[in-house]
Chains A and B, each alone.
Chain A
Amino acid sequence: MPTQEMLDVTGFLGLSLRAGPELGLLALACLTFLGGTFIRGRLLWGLVGVIGLGFAAGFSAIQSGPAFAPTRDFFCFDDVASCVRLIVPILGMLMLPILVAEVDDVRAADIVGCTLCACAGVSLTSMAGDLVLLFLGLEAVSIPTYVMLYLARHDRRGQEATLKYFMLSIFSSALFLFGASYLYGLTGQTRLTSVSSNGLSRGILELLADPSSQRFDMPRTLAIALIFVIAGLGMKITAVPFHFYAPDVYQGTSPGMAGFLSWFPKAAGLIALLRVLGLAHGHGEPFGGMDGTLIWILAVVTMTLGNCLAIWQGNLRRMLAYSGVAQGGYMLASLAVGPATHQHAGGVGPMLFYLAAYGIMSLGAFAIIAYLNDPEMPVEHIDDLAGLGSRAPIASWSLAICLFGMLGLPLTVGFIAKAQVLLATLVSPMAAGSSLIGILGLLIVFNAAVGAWYYLGLVHRMFLRRPLGPQGKCGPKVQLAAGLVCAILTVLLGIVPSWLGWTQIRQGGRVHAIVPAVTMVAKP
C-alpha cells in the first residue's frame, strides 16, 4: 500500500537514486527520440546509446555492493535484480551496434531509443516487487519491440512479422492481466512480497502461502490466476503452446532484430515468471506445488518440441528461432527445480547464468548472420552458409563458437550453463516430485543430443562444403566485431566463469552450482 514511505521526500529521492540506471536510460531514450528529429546520424546516436548503457552498467555494478542493503517493496532490490541489472546493459551494448548498422541514418535514433527503453524494461521487470511495476516493465519491453520490428524491416515480410508479433503480444498481455487481476482479488494487494520492520504488511506471495488468510475457494481460483499468468508470460518466453509466432517473426524480420527478439523479450518473460511465482524469494512452494508441475510440463514440451522441430527447418532464422524455443525450455527446466532452500541452491541461480550465457551466444550468432546478410543476396537458407569457412574465416569461426556454445560443448560458457541446470535438477532434494525432476535431467541430456544434430549441421556446411552459388558481400564490420566479442566471451567465460562475477558454491567438498556472486541462493 503506497502510504508513508512513498510520500516521504527523502524516500522518494532515495528511490530515484536506486532506480537511477533505469530512470537514466528512459530519460536518455526520450532525449534520443527528440534529438533524432533534429540531428541524424548512425554513429552519433549509436555512440550515445552505448555510452548510456555503459553508465547504466557501471552504476548498477556500484549499487550491487554492500552499501545498498536489499529491500523488498514496490522496487525489489535483491540479488536477482542486481544480477539482471548488470547483464542487461552489457548485452544491450553488444546489441546496439548490430541493430544500428542495419538501419539507415533517419531511423538510427529511433531504434537506439527503443533499445534503451527495452533494456530499462527488462531491468524494471527484474526489480518489480509489485504487479503494477511488473506489468509496466513487461510493456516497456513489448511496446518498443513493435516499433523496432517495423523500423528494422518494412517490406511485405517485415510488415507481416510485425503484425503477427503485435497481435499475439497484445493478446498475451491481456491474458497476463486477467491472471493478475485474480491474484489481486485473492489477496487484496498488488504488492508481490514485502518485508517491513513491523512484519505487518504482507505481499501476495506471503498471503497465498498463509492458509489463515484464504477467503475464496482458493485452489480453483488460484489455478485460474496461475494458468492465465503463465500463459501470458509463456508467449514472451516462447514456451511451446505459445511459440507459433516465433519462427514466422524471426524469418520475416532482419537478422539483427531476430537477435534482439531472441533475448530481450524472453529474458523479461522469464524474470517476470520468477517474480510472480516467488521463486526469487525462497519461500519454498508458495502455490502448493501447482506452479511446479505446470512449469515442469511447459519445460519438457518446450525443449523437446523446439529441438525436434529445429531439425526440419531449411530457413536459417527459422531454425535459430526453434533453437531459441528449446533454449527457453532449458531455462524453464531450471525454474521447475524451485527456489533456493538451506539445503539446496535451487534453480534460480543456474537460470540466471543460463540466461546470461544464452544472451551472449545468441547475440553472437545473429550478429554474424547479420554481417553475412547482403540485401541483394540475403542469407536465408542454411545452405547459403556452405563454404563460408574459406570465404570469411573470422566470421565463420565466431559463428561456430557461438553454435558450439548453444550446443553446450565443453570450454564454452554454454557447457557450464547446461551443466549447472543439469546439476540443479539431479541433486534437488526438495522438488515437488523428486522423480519428476530427475526425469527432467534425463530429458535435458536427450535434448542436448538432439540439438547437436542441427547445430553441427550448420558447422558442417560452413567448413566442409563448397559454396553452392555466387556469394553476397559482407555487411558492416561493426557487426563482425560484435559477433567476435560474443565468441571471445563465450570461450573466456567458459574457461573462467568467475570473471563474470559468478562464484562456486561448495557443499561437502562438491561444487553444487556456480551462481552470481551477488545472489542470495544457498547461503549455508
Chain B
Amino acid sequence: MNSPDLPHYLACAAVLFVLGLVGFLARRNLILMFLSVELMVQGVALNFVAFARFRGNLDGQSFVLFMLTVAACEAALALALILALYRTQASLDVSLWQNLREDDLDATEDDEPLPGMMPEAPLPSLPVAGIAPARPEESNRV
C-alpha cells in the first residue's frame, strides 16, 4: 500500500466541504446548518494542512490555528443566537423565519414537519404540596 499522497487529502477535504455545503443548503435545523458550515471549515483546514505538508512549510498550519480560533468565536455567537431564537419560536426549524421577504412572494411551506420537532408528550408534573411519595431505597446504607 502506498502512503496517502496530496490528491488523496485534497479529495477527502473536498468531500468534507461538499458534504457541509449540501448539508447547509438542505437542512432545516438551525444547529445542523451551523454544524454543516463547521464541516466545510474543517474540510478547508484539511486542505491547508495537506498543502503545508506538501509544500514543506508551516504557513498553512498557522493559518489553520487562526481559522480554528475564529471558528470557535463564531460557534459561541451561533449558540447564543440560536438559543435566543429558540426562546422566541420554541423551535429550531429555520423555515419559521421567513417574515422578511418580497411583498409578492409567498412563504415557502414544507409538508413534513422537521423531524424531532413533533409535539411531545407533556412533562410529568409534581404535586404542588404534600408528602413526598415513598421511593424504593437500598436496604442497607454504607
Contacts and interface: CB of A to CB of B under 8 A. Distances in A.
A39 B118 CA distance: 46
A308 to B, nearest CB: 14
Nearest to B67: A177
Interface in B73-102: 73-74, 77-78, 81, 84-85, 88, 94, 97-102
Interface in A71-96: none
Nearest to A245: B100
B55 A185 contact: yes
Contact of B33 (A150, A167, A248, A252): A167
A163 B74 contact: no
Contact of B81 (A157, A162, A190, A249): A162
A159 B100 contact: no
A136 B70 CA distance: 8
A479 interface: no
A3 to B, nearest CB: 11
Contacts, number: 118
Q: By DSSP majority rule, is chain B's interface helix, strand, loop, or mixed?
A: helix
A156 interface: yes
Interface in A90-141: 131-132, 135-136, 139
Interface residues of B, number: 44
A503 interface: no
Given A143-B74, A184-B59, A251 B100 contact: yes
Nearest to B77: A146
B40 A174 contact: yes
Contact of A166 (B41, B48, B77): B77
A135 B67 contact: yes
Contact of B57 (A167, A181, A188): A188
Interface string B98-125: 1111110000000000000000000000
Nearest to A191: B59
A170 B13 CA distance: 18
A77 B16 CA distance: 37
Interface string A158-193: 011111101100110011011011101100111100
A1 interface: yes
Nearest to A147: B77
By DSSP majority rule, is chain A's interface helix, strand, loop, or mixed? helix
B44 A178 contact: yes
Contact of B97 (A163, A182, A190): A163
> Of residues B62, B78, B97, which shows the largest number of chain A Cβ atoms within 10 Å of its Cβ?
B97
B100 A150 contact: no
Contacts of A433: none
A181 B99 contact: no
Interface string B19-52: 0100010000010011001001101100110110
Contacts of A188: 51, 55-57, 59
Nearest to A149: B81
A422 to B, nearest CB: 31
B47 A157 contact: no
A443 to B, nearest CB: 25
Contacts of A190: 59-60, 63
A1 B57 contact: yes
B59 A160 contact: no
B52 to A, nearest CB: 8
Given A135-B67, A166-B78, A184-B48, A189 B99 contact: no
Given A161-B100, A174-B20, A154 B66 contact: no
A70 interface: no
A139 B48 CA distance: 18
B99 A160 contact: yes
Contact of B66 (A132, A164, A249): A132
B73 A143 contact: yes
Given A170-B74, A185-B55, A135 B66 contact: yes
A314 interface: yes
Contacts of A146: 77, 81
17 contacts: A131-B63, A135-B66, A146-B81, A156-B99, A159-B84, A159-B88, A160-B100, A164-B100, A171-B40, A174-B17, A174-B44, A177-B41, A184-B48, A184-B63, A185-B47, A185-B55, A190-B59
Interface of A: 1-2, 131-132, 135-136, 139, 143, 146-147, 150, 154, 156-157, 159-164, 166-167, 170-171, 174-175, 177-178, 180-182, 184-185, 188-191, 247-249, 251-252, 314-315
A-B residue pairs, 5 tightest by C-beta: A188-B55, A185-B51, A181-B47, A248-B100, A174-B40
